[in-house]
Chains A and B, each alone.
Chain A
Amino acid sequence: MTQQQESQSPFDPAGMFKDFRDAGMDAWAKTMVQLVNTEAYAEATGAMLNAWLTGSGPFRQTVESSLSHVLSNLNLPTRDEITQLAQRLTHIEMRLDDIDAKIDDALRASPRTARSITPPAKKKK
């Protein structure tokens, strides 16, 4: 300990933290791990989360509905409409992927077809 004090710079801003850590950080860490692993902590966290979600819900809903109203009046798409559009795009992508799979299967089944659709190399003039 004396050696540590001697080697430690008195001007190191983190020196205080180092001393604190050396003295009891491990014990503190273990205590905290034990604390967060209790039923009481789990129950308190769950209750706090529920309270926050329920309490902030009406505010969030009000903001979202007024924003949707404003966007509709401005002839702009709302978040829900863009979300629906994105979902439709994903479905189209899936259909394209199905087609891609069929093309791959066809090419594998018939190597001659694969050769015929490969673009010919350009002739040098």
Chain B
Amino acid sequence: MADSQNPQADVPSFTDVCDEWHKSLEKMQKFNELLTTNAQIAQTSKQLIWTLNKARLFRYVPVKPEKELHKIPLLLVFAIMNRPHVLDLRPGHSYVEYMLQHGYDVYLMDWGIPGPEDRDLKFEDYALEYLPRAIRKLKTVAEREQFSMLGWCLGALISTIYACLRPDDGLKNLVLLTAPLDFSDKSAGGFSRWASNPEFNADLVVDKLGNVPGEMIDTGAKMLKPVENFIGTYVNLWDNIDNSRFIQGWHAMNTWVRDIIPMAGAAYQQLINDFYKENRLIENSLVVGGEQVKLCNLKASVLNVIAEADHITPPCQSERVMDQLGSQDKEVFRVRGGHIGIMAGSGAEKNTWPHIEKWLADRSD
């Protein structure tokens, strides 16, 4: 009321205007810095124990005394077209850190960044050459014959192929995270629709480009939700730029998202043709390295974690596989969230991580 009687009270003084502009400039500077700099991610101490070509196997330094460690070591296998740092995002919010604190002997398979010489790498190379060799080394270092494996996204696909073809290699527990395994519904999700369209020619892409550039994969993933990814995320950052907790998380995630890498050409070709277009894994017609992949051969205990709001791997691509698995002990765990959010989002520590940990703990001694 007082203001309406005194119109001059609504007019900001020159000093107020200058202050506001100064604050806005500071915000812009901070905004720009967050967009163009890298946060410190993947900080947990680890030792390199094996290498082959670009692939590396790391062992995280256990934080519990040896007698308190679970007997079965855990191997983390991430996708081949992104860096695996999202599993160890930042101190205080890292899945690796969480599992170490719960007494696991944790190993990480880092596929590395493929060069032009790796354009012929296929899923059979990842699943039957690199992974078994890394697992052999893991078993030697851990002095254990059995191990657990957690595969995420295409890492889950590689893990499943390996588990089906090498069921007696010591794999005791398999955790599948947002695993793209069943492509029978061609209208489920943008990727499925785009890749199964006859116009989309993966052979031509690989023939002309060799490895598929990271920018192409990144743009494709972002185009699944264009407004959120190209605009929403930055507006959200601007709104919360004074919230230091939000900033830390956003900066770490953006650092990981910006670290794009190419995908080996032959593996991309196989992903589009054999999986997205022909759905060979579920049809039991997938032949890898001369061996037929049969899901009924998978014997390890399986925890299939499905993100209910996953736009990259829609739930239907993961859930129907359960009936075909040969495992006696299998469970589906549905989590609210998206493809990455269920493991790296703010709720992961309360929902996804404890469930996986509990499931593994019951089967790791």
**Residues of A bordering B, CB below 8 Å:** 9-14, 17-18, 21, 25, 28-29, 32-33, 36-39, 41-43, 45-47, 49-50, 53-54, 56-57, 60, 79, 82-84, 86-87, 90, 93-94, 97, 100-101, 104, 108
Contact = CB atoms under 8 A, between A and B. Distances in A.
Given A12-B24, A36-B226, A97-B133, A45 B115 contact: no
Given A53-B208, A53-B209, A29 B225 contact: yes
Contacts of A32: 225-227
B354 to A, nearest CB: 31
Contacts of A39: 193, 197
* Most chain A Cβ neighbours within 10 Å, of B28, B227, B231: B227
A87 B264 CA distance: 14
Q: Is the interface of B mostly helix, strand, loop or mixed?
A: helix
Given A37-B190, A97-B52, A100-B137, 20 more contacts: A17-B235, A25-B232, A29-B228, A29-B232, A33-B227, A37-B187, A37-B189, A37-B193, A38-B193, A42-B193, A42-B199, A47-B199, A49-B201, A50-B199, A50-B204, A53-B208, A83-B115, A90-B117, A101-B133, A104-B136
8 contacts: A12-B24, A21-B232, A29-B226, A29-B232, A37-B193, A41-B194, A43-B197, A53-B204
Interface string B86-121: 000000000000000000000000000001110000
B224 interface: yes
Contacts of A14: 235, 238-239
Contacts of B115: 83, 86
Given A18-B235, A54-B204, A42 B194 contact: yes
A28 B227 contact: yes
B269 to A, nearest CB: 14
B2 to A, nearest CB: 15
B17 to A, nearest CB: 7
A33 B224 CA distance: 7
* Most chain B Cβ neighbours within 10 Å, of A25, A38, A90: A90
Nearest to A31: B227
Nearest to A43: B199
A28 B239 CA distance: 19
A33 B189 CA distance: 10
Given A45-B200, A46-B194, A108-B140, A87 B117 contact: yes
A83 B199 contact: no
A11 B117 contact: no
Interface string B178-190: 0000000001011
